[in-house]
Structure formats: C-alpha cells, structure tokens
A and B are shown apart, each in its own frame.
Chain A
Amino acid sequence: MEIKIKTPLPHGGRLVDRVVRNPELGKKMARGCPAYDIKPNLYNGMPVRNVYREIMSICYGFFSPVEGSMTQAEVERVLKERRLLSNWIFPYPLVFDISEEDYKKLGVSVGDRLLLRLKGQPFAVLDIEEIYEIDPQEIATRTFGTPENNPEVVRRAFDTKHPGYVIYLSLNRIVLAGKYTIINEPRLRPPFDRFWYPPAKSREEFKRRGWTTVINHQTRNVPHVGHEALLRNAAFTGDTKPCDGILVNCIVGAKRLGDYPDEAIVEAHEMVNLAGYVKPQRHMVTMLLWDMRYGNPLESLLHGIVRQNMGCTHHMFGRDHAAVGDYYDSYATQILWEKGIPSFGFPAPPNAVEYGLLIRPQNMAEFWYCPHCQEVTYSENCNHLDEIQRFSGSFIRSLLSEGLFPPPVIMRPEVYKVVVKWWKQFGYPFNNKKYLTEREKELEVDLAPMDI
C-alpha cells in the first residue's frame, strides 16, 4: 500500500501554457488581424463578467486542459455530461461572445485570427475555429440545473437574483470558438501582483518550500475566525502527517454587491499568516481571476480542477460551498464528492470516474463558537446544541457596517484593520455600484503599449 501522497499531475495530463513571452513574436502573430476591444458583460447596467479573466485563467493553465472558447459541440457536452470533447471533466461552458452588431462590423469568419485588445492595448489573439449562435437563457438554465432535472441537489429554480445565472443571461448571442493565445503579457496591479501564482509557478513554489501534501482553501471572503478554524483543522489531513502546506486561493473578479472588495480579501488572508495565526512557512495566499458563478457543486468541480493544476493534493469543502441563497442543497458539494450526482454526469465522485480528478476532497461540517466549551469547535464534536453560536458572514458584515470593532472571537483585530484600510480607500467596506464600475475600468492588470 502506498502511504505517501504525491503531487498530482495536472488535469488532462499537462499544464496549458498559451502565453507568448517574446513581444516580437506576439506582434508578428497579431499583424494584420482585425481587432476587437474586450468589454464586460453587463446585467441591468452592472458589470457581471469580463472574458479577459477567463482568457488569463485559460492561457496560464489554471483551467487546463481547456485552451480556448468552446465549440458548440463542446458546450453541449459540458452541459449534458460536464465533460470536454477530450472526455476530461469540466463543469461550465466557457465562450467568447460578441454582439451581432460587433460581429457584423468585424466581418470575421472561420479560419481568421482576431486580435483582442484590453484597456486599449493588444492582449491576446483568438484563432476562430467555429462561429455559432447561443440562446443565453437556455445556457443559463442548463448550466446550473433545475429541480426537475437535477433533483438530487437543486432545490429551487434559478432566477435573476442568482449572480452566476445572470452571468450566462448576460452573454451575447454570437460565439467565436477557438484557442486563445496571450501575445502581450499583462502585469498584475498591486496588491494582486504578489498573489499571482499561475499553476507552473505555484508548483515550483511548493517544491521550493518542500511541500508535497497541500490542502486548498477556497475563498471569496475576508476570513473570520470560523474560516480560520476550518482551514487549520482541515489541514490535519495529509498522509503520514498533516498537510505540509495550506494554499488559500482567493477568487478575484466581478462579484455581487455587498461582498468584500478583492483587495481586502487577498490582504486579509495574508494577514492571517503575517499576524502569526498560521505560520507563513505553512500558509500561502494566491488568487484566481474568475467571475464567480456561485454554482456550489459545479463550482467545486472547477475549484478541484484549478487547485489540482496548481499542485494541491487535497481540497477542503465546507457547508454551502461557493453558494448563494438556497438554490442548491447546503451539502450539494459534499454529496458530489462523497457519492456523485448522476444527473450532472457523475454516477460516482469526480475522483472516482474516468478522466476525473486526482485531488482528494476533505469534506468538513461546520465550525461554531460554543460558550460552554469556550472555543471555536467542530460541529461533529460539540454537543452543547442549545448554547452554540454559528458564524454568519452576513452578521459580521452588519456589525462592520455599524462601525463596531468585531470581537477577536469573531474576527482577528489585524484582519479587521485590513478591512478598514480598504474601507478608507474606497469609502465603503463592501462592493457597491461605484466600486464595481470603477474596478471594471481599471481591472487587475495593466498592459504595456504594443505597436503592431
């Protein structure tokens, strides 16, 4: 019996790297191509998605083995079976969509190369393999499932209050399918630059640190003490000893009103190690550019893929993983990783099917504060059920809004000070319309001028 766990291979067998690092070659690739300026998808006037983040995550290998905007057959297979045409599992359709008006203006056809500009500068090229039309409403519904078709985990029909659903509703009807290549490597802006670890780099960093077993903590939140308890305790899994490392991978992208600004999220997680609550030698904060779909079990599949690609051996999953509202069962993600969800194409867990994942799930119940135990404790241990107090992100956000310093039993003072730092910067502690709109103009990257 093999006791020691090894770093898993990337999903699909190899890391995708579609970034041209030689600017002269980049210029040559784009010369003479029609150009298109990337714009965000809007819903009710608010930016909900920017395809540039998908292009970054694809080309730098986070979404390996995906290499571009999916063809119609691939989208259909993903929606039906959550598999790519190469058979590897993948949860979401990823497409490059444009309006009919822009399509007519561009006059492109299959076989053409399209130059994609970002913030006015050349960014990437798309080699067009297919052009087809989609029905955004149909894609939105099929992406997340329905109570009728997916009764194991979908509890109610998705609607426009769901931020992931509106991402698909906001898609333009024309899709240009084909591989992307980044030809002008963007520079991450501070503070994101120090958290940017594409899979090849994170794997190198794990080696440098001597980490083999690494558990990932997914987050879109500033950490409260309950989150910290989850990541510290989940990391007791491993092989012959607890995991060598804890990787925190923060989702950076368009989020919903009322979430924390991404700048506060990445720095607040970093503060957990800077303030010594988890040794920096064992804790590493990174980011993923992605406009969250909030798809609970489906999102957990994407998380498994990304973190396996980054070199993680384990992934912790809690209650209501990557969820919003009560569209899915609270334990839908754990159901997927414990026994599978046949109606989503998983008669067995994602790491027990062919072309599945190698990363190991660590399904956790809940951490709550117990005044009787006088500590944050695991729900499967503590039996003082009449006394316990559950952590609630909404409650903490309310506390913060009222200008109250949260007690250390809820949020570390150093973490709170990071929230206040960015609150001062933006005039608001959470995402409001102004922040989301400004942010979409600035994005997380800058691009050097490139004359083609």
Chain B
Amino acid sequence: MGYSLAVILDKKRLEGIKGTGLESKVTDMFGGAIQALIMDVPEEPYAKRILAEFPGARIDARNFLEEVPVAFKKAVYEEIRRLKSMGPEVLDAVFEKMAEIKELAAQEQEYLPPPEVD
C-alpha cells in the first residue's frame, strides 16, 4: 500500500523550484490556499523506514505521512529541487543523510522557534 507525503511550498520554496520543470507538479490544496508537492511513498521500504526512524510520524486519515520532523521535510524539499524529480531517488538521497536529520530532529524536540505574528 502506498502513501503520500506533502511538501508545503511557501513563497521562498516556490521561487526555488522555478525553471526546474517541477512547477507543473505543484498541487493546490484547500482551494489554492496552500501549494504543495505531493510525492508518492511506497510502503516498502520507504514509508516503513520513515515510520521506524521517527516515532512521532504517523499516517493520517488521508493516507498521508505526517508529523515527521521539520528537518526531514526540509531535506526532502532540497533533494526534490536538486534532483528535479519527485521519484523514489529523492527519498534514497534523503535516507543517506538520516544521521544528520535525526540529530536535527532531536534538537527540534526541545525547541522550535516561534513565528513572529502581529
């Protein structure tokens, strides 16, 4: 069974994929209020490994992998941009950096900088 992983695109990230050919793969969510790149994540070996590496990660009611560390999503976005792809090679590349991501994820558990809002 496959799952999905949504990488949310803010203005900066949208800018970052300009000219990569990925623009056509941007999905509008909630009537265009959110833009995202939505990747397919096969259960074996990808989803299983993500769930095993991050105890807080879960599959939500939409069959999306969620509550993964911010550092993981950031790494997925960077690899999508670098490889200009949304295929499994993105996750292969992310998994190679797993030790570093987990270190950042542990720090995230202690503190996340709050956003500035008016």
Contact = CB atoms under 8 A, between A and B. Distances in A.
Contacts of B28: 371
Given A397-B67, A398-B67, A369 B31 contact: yes
B61 A407 contact: no
B30 A402 contact: no
A427 B31 contact: no
A86 B63 CA distance: 45
Interface residues on B, range: 20 to 34
A372 to B, nearest CB: 9
A423 B62 CA distance: 27
A392 B112 CA distance: 21
A194 interface: no
Given A392-B61, A392-B64, A417-B117, A427 B111 contact: yes
Contacts of A399: 8, 34
A365 B37 CA distance: 29
A385 interface: no
Contacts of B62: 390, 392, 395
Interface in A222-246: none
A394 B33 contact: no
B56 interface: yes
A401 B54 CA distance: 15
Contacts of A275: none
A369 B30 contact: yes
Nearest to B111: A427
Interface residues of A, number: 36
A423 B70 contact: no
B31 A409 contact: yes
Nearest to A428: B112
B78 interface: no
A277 interface: no
A423 B34 CA distance: 23
A404 B70 CA distance: 11
Contacts of B66: 392, 394-395, 397-398
A390 B64 CA distance: 11
A398 B73 contact: yes
A396 to B, nearest CB: 9
Contacts of B34: 399, 407, 410
A267 to B, nearest CB: 15
B10 interface: yes
Most A-side CB within 10 Å, residue of B34, B64, B68: B34
B45 interface: no
